[in-house]
Amino acid sequence: MEMQTKDHLDFTNQLPKWAIGCHIGVISLFFLLGVGMFVLTAKEVSETGLGISILLFVIGVVFLGLSWFSYKNLRKYLDFIIKIRVGEKGYDYYAKDKKKGIEQEFFLPYENMKYILIGMDYRLKAKYKYSVHHDRTKLIPVRSAKILICGVSSNNQLEVTSFAHWDEGSLNKWIDIFQKHGVDIFHTDKALTATPNNPEVIESIPKKRFEGALSFKIGSEADGLDNIFLTEEQQELVEEKEKKGRKSGLYFTILLSISQIMMICFWFPNWGIVDKSFSDSSGEFVALLFTLLSQFFIYIKMRKIKWYEPIRDSIIIYLGILIGIQLSPDERTTFQFAVQGYAMMTICSFLFLYYGVKLSSWFQKLRKKR
């Protein structure tokens, strides 16, 4: 959630009225365009049949989806109120959930602050990349700073609160104020992205006294989300999630292999064969695209892939294709050769694309280090 500020000391998530008006205007525009596309779709179907109406329907769905996404994004700012201030006497925090009617408020005086811990955090930033062939923009993770403040609040409770700084000038302003009031400041090279606001957890983080410089640069590109501090419980949860993701990936790959058997038995026999290969008018390209996209979607859900898993999964898919050849009712002598050609094209394309992307990413990292 974006925080608004004028002096880097007072922060709020509340949008100015003109910004809310712009949001409402964009939401209304997307909604009207979506409805308009549906009206055009209905008109096209009644006059000429399906044809271009499918494209109009898809465009309508996209515009309505953008309208819904923009509306949900605006609700985050309207339903939640967050106000943070670093003042002359201490740190003020106020939050309110309008839907649930829950309010949280506390004040940490400077004299009651045990210490400040500064670590890394991450945010996504759009990066414009120019090349001779084409220009493109992509989202990359960049480093920001996260401050954890530990101290006894005016309610006589030990509190830990956090705040992320995307701007180095904003962070330096806070540091100057804390140093002016004699608050101990520490820093760590760990990313505090997933760190819970718990005093015991904060104590366990490896830290050094702040001497004027951080171990990272705000705004620098991050090589993925590296060096994140995790508690033992969090680490166990991550490992458990990875195991479940890997098992699910294997199960879905087996289902994809079974789908190959079904296609070879019930769909492939309807295709023409020319010189031991399926004809250009066959659905071979569609089957290939379906298999590749399905496997890559499985990998996106798995997130972490071990180097040998694409080879294992290719073998599983190939076994499904072999079983499909044996079970298929097609009696043409060239059918087996055509299916084998499809199998080689599918598996080689998959392995080439996967390991090609990995090698390209590896070479890019080497260039950055140089």
pLDDT tens for residues 23-77?
999 999 999 999 999 898 888 878 776 667 778 888 889 999 999 999 998 888 8
- pLDDT, tens only, 342-360: 999 999 999 999 999 888 8
Q: What is the rounded average pLDDT for all residues in the chain?
A: 87
Give the confidence band of 290 by pLDDT, cuts at 50, 70, 90: very high
Looking at 169, 197, 229, which one is the last position of a domain? 229
**Three-state SS sequence of 308-342:** CHHHHHHHHHHHHHHHHHHHCCCCCCCHHHHHHHH
Q: Is the pLDDT of residue 134 over 80?
A: no
Helices (H), ranges, 267-308: 284-302
In 3D, which of 84, 144, 142 has the Cα closest to residue 108? Answer: 84
Same domain, 262 and 196: no
Same domain, 363 and 320: yes
Same domain, 220 and 255: no
- Separation between Cα atoms, residue 186 and residue 206, nearest integer Å: 10
| Number of neighbours of residue 117 by Cβ within 10 angstroms | 25
In a domain, 29, yes or no: yes
So what's the pLDDT on residue 341? 95
Give the CA angle between residues 97, 64, 20 to the nearest 5°: 45
Same domain, 243 and 184: no
Looking at 229, 260, 279, which one is the last position of a domain? 229
Return the higher-pLDDT residue of 142 and 49: 142
Same domain, 164 and 51: no
In a domain, 85, yes or no: no
For a pLDDT cut of 70, what percent of the chain falls above it?
A: 93
In a domain, 255, yes or no: yes
- Phi and psi at 229, nearest 5°, equal -80, 130
- pLDDT, tens only, 198-234: 888 888 999 999 988 888 888 888 776 668 888 888 8
Task: Locate the DSSP E strands across the chain.
Answer: 4-5, 10-12, 80-86, 90-97, 102-109, 113-129, 136-152, 158-165, 185-191, 208-209, 273-274, 277-278
Domain that holds residue 144: 91-229
So what's the pLDDT on residue 1? 56
Same domain, 139 and 249: no
Structure tokens at 268: 């492939």
So what's the pLDDT on residue 368? 65
Same domain, 224 and 243: no
In a domain, 86, yes or no: no
Give the confidence band of 367 by pLDDT, cuts at 50, 70, 90: confident
Per-position DSSP letters for 353-370, written without gaps between them: HHHHHHHHHHHHHHHHH-
In 3D, which of 319, 293, 310 has the Cα closest to residue 246? Answer: 310
For residue 128, give the amino acid letter.
Y
In a domain, 353, yes or no: yes
Same domain, 257 and 319: yes
So what's the pLDDT on residue 194? 87
Return the higher-pLDDT residue of 97 and 134: 97
Same domain, 35 and 63: yes
Q: For helices 309-327 and 335-369, give the axis angle rounded to 10 degrees.
A: 170
So what's the pLDDT on residue 13? 81
- In the β-sheet with 158-165, what is the strand arrangement from edge to edge? 158-165, 136-152, 113-129, 185-191, 208-209
Same domain, 54 and 101: no
- Separation between Cα atoms, residue 102 and residue 79, nearest integer Å: 11
The total of structural domains in the chain comes to: 3
Q: Is the pLDDT of residue 100 over 80?
A: yes
What average pLDDT score do residues 263-290 get? 91
So what's the pLDDT on residue 224? 67
In a domain, 37, yes or no: yes
So what's the pLDDT on residue 157? 81
Model-level pTM greater than 0.85?
Answer: no
- Give me the long-range contacts of 199-208 (CB less than 8 A, separation at least 24): 199/150, 199/158, 199/160, 201/231, 202/117, 202/148, 202/150, 202/160, 204/231, 205/117, 205/119, 205/229, 207/117
Do the strands 208-209 and 185-191 form a parallel or antiparallel pair, or are they unpaired?
antiparallel
What average pLDDT score do residues 304-331 get? 94
Structure tokens at 28: 């209304």
- Separation between Cα atoms, residue 350 and residue 339, nearest integer Å: 16
Same domain, 219 and 239: no
Place of tokens 């705040």: 163
- pLDDT, tens only, 148-174: 999 887 778 888 888 888 888 889 999
So what's the pLDDT on residue 310? 94
Same domain, 240 and 337: yes
So what's the pLDDT on residue 130? 59
Q: Which of 7-11, 72-76, 84-88, 291-295 has the lowest mean pLDDT?
A: 7-11
Q: For helices 17-48 and 53-79, give the axis angle rounded to 10 degrees.
A: 160
- Separation between Cα atoms, residue 65 and residue 141, nearest integer Å: 26
Give the confidence band of 369 by pLDDT, cuts at 50, 70, 90: low
- Separation between Cα atoms, residue 165 and residue 229, nearest integer Å: 18
Structure tokens at 121: 């955090």
Looking at 181, 202, 229, which one is the last position of a domain? 229
In a domain, 314, yes or no: yes
Q: Which of 23-32, 155-164, 281-290, 327-336 has the lowest mean pLDDT?
A: 155-164
So what's the pLDDT on residue 217? 87
What average pLDDT score do residues 113-127 get? 86
Q: Is the pLDDT of residue 101 over 90?
A: no
